[in-house]
Chain A
Amino acid sequence: MARTLYEKLVDEHLVASPPDEAPLLYIDLHLIHEVTSPQAFDGLRLASRRVRRPERTLATADHNVPTDPPSTPVSDPVSRRQLEALDENCREFGITLFPRGNEHQGIVHVIGPELGATQPGMTIVCGDSHTSTHGAFGALAFGIGTSEVEHVLATQTLPHQRARTMAVTLEGQVPPGVSAKDIVLAIVARLGTGGGAGHVIEYRGQAIRDLSMEGRMTICNMSIEAGARAGLIGVDDTTIDYLRDHVIVDDDEFARLAARWRTYVSDDDATFDSEVILRADDLVPSVTWGTNPAQVVALDGVVPSPHDERDPAQAEAAARALAYMGLEPGTPIRDVAVDVVFIGSCTNSRLEDLRAAAEVVRGRRVAEGVRALVVPGSHAVKRHAEAEGLDRVFLDAGFEWREPGCSMCLGMNPDQLRPGQRSASTSNRNFEGRQGRGGRTHLVSPAVAAATALMGRFASPAEVSA
């Protein structure tokens, strides 16, 4: 029978299907970080349990690490304690850890693919909702809570309620200047923040095929913003080409793996529980205006009015969002000034993202009064960017060039907005207070973030080169 990619991945990882219980799924790769793991390790110790497969577990410090040079001590004692706990737990249970300052350290969803740990056909979990990123490789990857982290550490499995399947198909090609971020913002706007609930989304169509792996990761990353458990993209030549550079094995082994990897696609006649079709040709550079990622408007547009919403609950949510964001309906987005520009996060901190931003910035200056920071997703991204001279491009323009980590995406480290400050951010969530208490976040692509930094207000790259 024809199967979707999701169904193949589940079928291949079924350990047991006991009656009256959820099927048990084997987990190939468990990524952990300092924030959602300490209580899980405590649980193991309390129950005298071990980590079943330390060799399938990989740890890094990313969420709370300061982005100052690693020689600077972690000044926040609570964060320091959490980082120490990760060190101690990984040592005690024999888990490979890339701590702050390590050459392989970085945001967990950036380093997995970069280090060749993320491969097609795998099941991948992490105590972080953006684990969906790895689905770009045809892997079933989803975020879990701390109790589930403990469960995977102890058993290398998870009970898995089968999800429904949804195909999101992007027909046609995107116009020039429209990035992967704009595509996924359009998808989230279309589905709404709950539209993908209970589903695994598979992204298909020409505009997805045209994307690099970096772009595909940006798309799958934000699946959770539409409420979906996971995002998936089937394996093709682009996937295999990326893996050739990142999975370090001999040629015979690579050929053997690649032949298997290529099977991780949905069968041609597989049926999905639902399908959504978007015309890629209609997409435009976009900005979020509100406090959830489905509140999206064209960069060319104006701040919408709550009266545009037919559903009273949505209208009330829109009014609340506008009040929080300090915006008046009808204001052109291009007239909205920003205080901070953040280029980083597991959504948009890879080399391709930094190149797109640097291309806009090169030879220009950040607008007076704007704080602009670039936080590479990993040390590898930082090294490669520096080898290309991108750090100089940003520094000469007045950007800060910082050390890798999650940074201002979630404001757990010192990189935060102050109350009332407005940011253009390449991250994934514009929730109230997400980047710092009282902060106002607008999600954008790296190119729009760069242009906005130069103009001091929302702007497209075309405006700065004019």
Chain B
Amino acid sequence: MKPVHVVEGRAVPLERSDVDTDQIIPSEWLKRVERTGFGRGLFSEWRDDPAFVLNQPAYAGATILVAQARFGTGSSREHAVWALMDYGFAAVVASSFGDIFANNAASQGLVTVTLPPDALEELTQLVKADPSRLVVVDVERLLVEVPDAAWQHAFSLNALTRERLLHGWDTIGLTLRHDNEIARFESAHWAPSVPIRFAP
């Protein structure tokens, strides 16, 4: 994973609450064994509609998605994060996220920014009023900014998630530093392995 310090770019407002991971990437896309190429499937059930916000030229090339409440609930599919990133998004701002989605995003380096609903609404209105505006998500300073409107709002990130983003750490590599502790735990642990005899 590449380190992420600051995400800058245009933002696109997705004015729907409860966008579950089935909406982000429908299950027909989950049959693939690769990790790339999911951008074409992003929001695919809505992309046929010319009025859908991602189809509007003014938002082309946006790197920040401004969503609403409960973004990424439902299925654990990490494909949702891969699709957002493959499409070009580097950060998602919302008033809340599905827990598994947020974990998946953290492990891939997609920044999730949680704002209170009123601040989210202000940001949404700013990017609707002028889609060309530069929006900045600063992981170091934990700030979302719209410099030309002199608007900014702080956000919080779990300390470990922030460190992982800033350093681009390989979580498995971090965990394997505890190899001896894992081995010690295993040697004293009671729980049986997968059975080899099964009920009929």
Q: How far is the CA of A198 from the CA of B75 in the complex (A)?
A: 16
Name the interface residues of A282-314: CB closer than 8 Å to any CB of B: 291-292, 313-314
B60 close to A (CB within 8 Å): no
Q: Are B74 and A36 within 8 A (Cβ)?
A: no
Q: Count of chain A residues with Cβ under 8 Å from any Cβ of B?
A: 86
List residues 80-112 of chain B with CB under 8 A from any CB of chain A: 81, 96, 98-100, 103-104, 107-108
Residues of A near B20 (CB, < 8 A) are 292, 429, 431
Are A49 and B76 also in contact (CB < 8 A) when A76-B31, A79-B31, A147-B104 are? no
Stretch in B127-135, B140-148, B182-190 with 4+ CB within 8 Å of A:
B182-190
Contact yes or no, A24 B178, CB < 8 A: yes
Determine whether the beta carbon of A16 is less than 8 Å from that of B78. no
Q: Do B16 and A147 touch across chains, with their CB atoms under 8 A apart?
A: no
What CA separation (Å) do A268 and B100 show in the bound complex?
A: 31
Q: Quick check: B74 and A429 within 8 Å, CB to CB?
A: yes
User: Which of B99, B103, B158, B181 makes the CB contact (< 8 A) with A227?
Assistant: B99
Given A143-B76, A147-B78, A157-B182, A313-B68 contact (CB < 8 Å): yes
> Restricting to A187-213, which residues have a CB under 8 Å from any CB of B?
193-194, 197-198
Answer yes or no: B26 CB below 8 A from chain A CBs: yes
Q: Beyond A155-B182, A157-B182, is A144–B100 a contact (Cβ under 8 Å)? A: yes
**A56 contacts B193, C-beta separation under 8 Å:** yes
**In the bound complex, how far is the Cα of B30 from the Cα of A427, in angstroms?**
19
Closest B residue by C-beta to A15: B185
A78 at interface by CB-CB < 8 Å: yes
Q: Is the CB of A121 within 8 A of B191?
A: yes
CA distance A229 to B79 in the complex (A): 19
- Chain B: minimal CB distance from A296 (Å): 14
Interface residues of B in 23-76 (CB under 8 A from A): 23, 26-28, 30-35, 45, 68-70, 73-76
Hey, which chain A residues are within 8 Å of B159, CB to CB? 20
> A227 to B199, alpha carbons, bound, how many Å?
34
One digit per residue, 1 when the CB lies within 8 angstroms of any chain B CB and 0 when it does not, for chain A 238-272 equals 00000001111000000000001000000000000
Q: What is the bound-complex CA distance between A148 and B17, given in angstroms?
A: 27
- Beyond A147-B108, A193-B18, is A412–B33 a contact (Cβ under 8 Å)? no
The answer to whether A145 and B182 touch (CB under 8 A), given A129-B76, A193-B73, is: no
Do residues A157 and B175 form an inter-chain contact, with CB atoms below 8 A? yes
Which residues of chain B are near A229, meaning CB under 8 Å? 99-100
* CB-based contact A36/B172 at 8 Å: no
Q: Give the one of A104, A150, A227 with max B CB within 10 A.
A: A227
> CB-CB < 8 A to B181: which residues of A?
15-16, 24
Contact surface of A with B, Cβ cutoff 8 Å: 15-16, 18, 20-22, 24, 26, 28-29, 35-36, 38-39, 42, 47, 49, 52-53, 55-58, 63-64, 76, 78-79, 81-82, 85, 96, 104, 114-117, 119, 121-122, 127-129, 143-148, 150-151, 154-157, 159, 161, 193-194, 197-198, 224, 227, 229, 245-248, 260, 291-292, 313-314, 316-317, 320, 380, 410-412, 429, 431-434, 437
